[in-house]
Chain A
Amino acid sequence: GAVVSQHPSWVICKSGTSVKIECRSLDFQATTMFWYRQFPKQSLMLMATSNEGSKATYEQGVEKDKFLINHASLTLSTLTVTSAHPEDSSFYICSARRDRNEKLFFGSGTQLSVL
């Protein structure tokens, strides 16, 4: 099956720093990638939808200036958490798919801990 690689798998950073998370589709071209965050024992909350070559569509309540998403190519999307604070600590997961009506392939997630 298709593989989505997410890196890093975990990161610890100081408050105020920025963290970049990468999501790559390794063996297919992803027209759309999605970014989710998940708090412990909770569901995944969609943060934004990223289409290659265009601006990301953010969900209501998600600060676009804080969570910068770039989808510069059909195989790579990045999420940058700017000026991270302890409340940004969470599990971030990306997913990707080739076309609409196809299933999603998920990355293995990134555990972000902000001290």
Chain B
Amino acid sequence: SQQGEEDPQALSIQEGENATMNCSYKTSINNLQWYRQNSGRGLVHLILIRSNEREKHSGRLRVTLDTSKKSSSLLITASRAADTASYFCATETSGSRLTFGEGTQLTVNP
């Protein structure tokens, strides 16, 4: 099994709605990060949450981390068409390795 499994694989919502994506992992982590990728482009860092943190906010983004359940969620509030992209969680373990999840393809319909 692989680190960083995300669900749903694909999510389609209307503009203005909230989007929630989940990420589960299997091993102990130093931190968990969320990234965004537009098609055929590099990744953009969105937010990092450390293993001793439970929740973090950045603008319209809210990330939670539950280390007992080894899971994290990313909430995008009041979504916009420009939020359409793939979203990846990535877990950083000892040795500074960053392992990416499979990603969630979010489509926000105008």
Task: Spell out A's residues near B (CB within 8 Å).
Answer: 4, 6, 32, 34, 36, 41-46, 49, 91, 93, 95, 100-101, 103-109, 111
- Complex formed: what's the CA distance from A103 to B100 in Å? 14
CB distance from B86 to the nearest CB of A (A): 8
Q: Which residues of A contact B40 (CB under 8 A)?
A: 91, 109, 111
The answer on a CB contact under 8 Å between A44 and B96 is no
Q: Which residues of B contact A103 (CB under 8 A)?
A: 33, 45, 48
Q: Besides A45-B100, A105-B45, A109-B41, 8 other CB < 8 A contacts?
A: A43-B101, A44-B100, A46-B97, A46-B98, A103-B33, A103-B45, A107-B42, A109-B42
How many chain B residues sit at the interface, stated as a range, is 20 to 34
Q: Which residue of chain A has the shortest Cβ distance to B35 in the bound complex? A: A106
- Given the interface pairs A91-B40, A105-B45, A108-B41, the reply to whether A43 lies near B98 with Cβ below 8 Å is no
Task: Spell out B's residues near A (CB within 8 Å).
Answer: 4, 30-31, 33, 35, 40-45, 48, 88, 96-103, 105
- Complex formed: what's the CA distance from A68 to B4 in Å? 27
Q: Which residues of B contact A101 (CB under 8 A)?
A: 30-31
Q: Which residues of B contact A36 (CB under 8 A)?
A: 100
A-B contacts, CB under 8 A, total: 52
- Complex formed: what's the CA distance from A105 to B48 in Å? 13
- Complex formed: what's the CA distance from A49 to B99 in Å? 12
A106 partner, pick from B30, B42, B102, beta carbons under 8 A: B42
Q: Which residues of A contact B97 (CB under 8 A)?
A: 46, 49
Q: What are 27 A-B residue pairs whose CB atoms fall within 8 Å in the complex?
A: A4-B42, A41-B105, A42-B102, A42-B103, A43-B4, A43-B88, A43-B100, A43-B102, A43-B103, A44-B43, A44-B88, A45-B100, A46-B98, A46-B99, A49-B96, A95-B98, A100-B96, A101-B30, A101-B31, A103-B33, A103-B45, A104-B43, A106-B35, A106-B44, A107-B42, A109-B40, A109-B42
